[in-house]
Amino acid sequence: MESFNDVISGGELVLVDFFATWCGPCKMMHPVLEQVKATLGDRIRIIKVDVDKHGDISAAYRIQSVPTLMLFRKGEVLYRQSGAMSKADLMALLSPFMK
């Protein structure tokens, strides 16, 4: 099984959704992320990290509110934002990072 660090350290673009099961805006992001994945396919990897189950990872990245989206490539944080967003906004945000 891949570790979190293995996933974010690869050469592919990885969008990490830090979420909580009790969080309303997090639930709103789920279908948006599915739509983005359907649109971008293999050009991006999207993973979800439950802050309640993975407190160590959440603490390491100083996650203070959910949802928080972070974009990684080769272990480097390319982007970070807290709060829900629309598919159009997320696609616009991801566009400059796509190969």
Catalytic pick among 4, 9, 23, 25: 23
Cα–Cα nearest to 83, from 67, 64, 94:
67
Q: Are strands 68-73 and 14-19 parallel, antiparallel or unpaired?
A: antiparallel
Is 23 labeled as catalytic in the residue annotation? yes
Catalytic pick among 26, 63, 69, 70: 26
Query: Tokens 């160590």 identify what position?
Result: 56
Distance, CA of 67 to CA of 75 (rounded, Å): 20
Is 26 labeled as catalytic in the residue annotation? yes
Enzyme catalytic residues: 23, 26
